Amino acid sequence: MWTPSWLLLFASPYIPHGHCYLWQTPLVSVHALSNFFIAIAYFSIPIALLYFVFKHENDFPVRLIVLFGSFIICYGLGHVLDIVTLWYPIYWVSGMVRAATALISCYTAMKVAILLPTFLASLR
């Protein structure tokens, strides 16, 4: 079967695409539905964070809340891509989203570690 050369940039030759078609339908459904509901949860958490910011806008830096929201949304997007990857070989796209998620998550963790003493001191 002939594959267009541009598609090879996004499809991995090392992971056999379509292996999930050998799975039984209930197993594919479990993967797709669980990733869907996890993504919905990840997308709803930033809404709660925004509500919290508006109620306590003087207590926390908005940039930190934006970082939290960003990495949570990236995790949700990763789960959406896991659903898409069941049918389409977008391993490079999925990998880039995972790399961005890792970068944002590590940066957020570093900022939280730096700002935690300030937050704890403000609670006293």
pLDDT given for residue 59 in this prediction: 65
Instruction: Please give the radius of gyration of the chain, using alpha carbons only, rounded to the nearest integer.
Output: 19
**Residue-range definition of the domain harbouring residue 69:** 24-122
Residue 1 lies in a domain: no
pTM: 0.65
Residue 50 lies in a domain: yes
Residue 14 lies in a domain: no
Over residues 4-58, the pLDDT tens digits come to 555 555 555 544 555 555 667 787 788 888 889 888 988 888 887 777 777 766 6
What's CA 88's distance to the chain center, in Å?
18
Give 10-71 as a 3 state SS string: CCCCCCCCCHHHHCCHHHHHHHHHHHHHHHHHHHHHHHHHHHHHHHCCCCCCHHHHHHHHHH
Over residues 58-117, the pLDDT tens digits come to 666 777 778 888 888 988 999 999 888 887 878 888 888 989 988 998 888 888 888 878
Contact 98, 78 (CB under 8 A): yes
What's the number of domains the chain is made of? 1
Residue 76 lies in a domain: yes
Residue 110 lies in a domain: yes
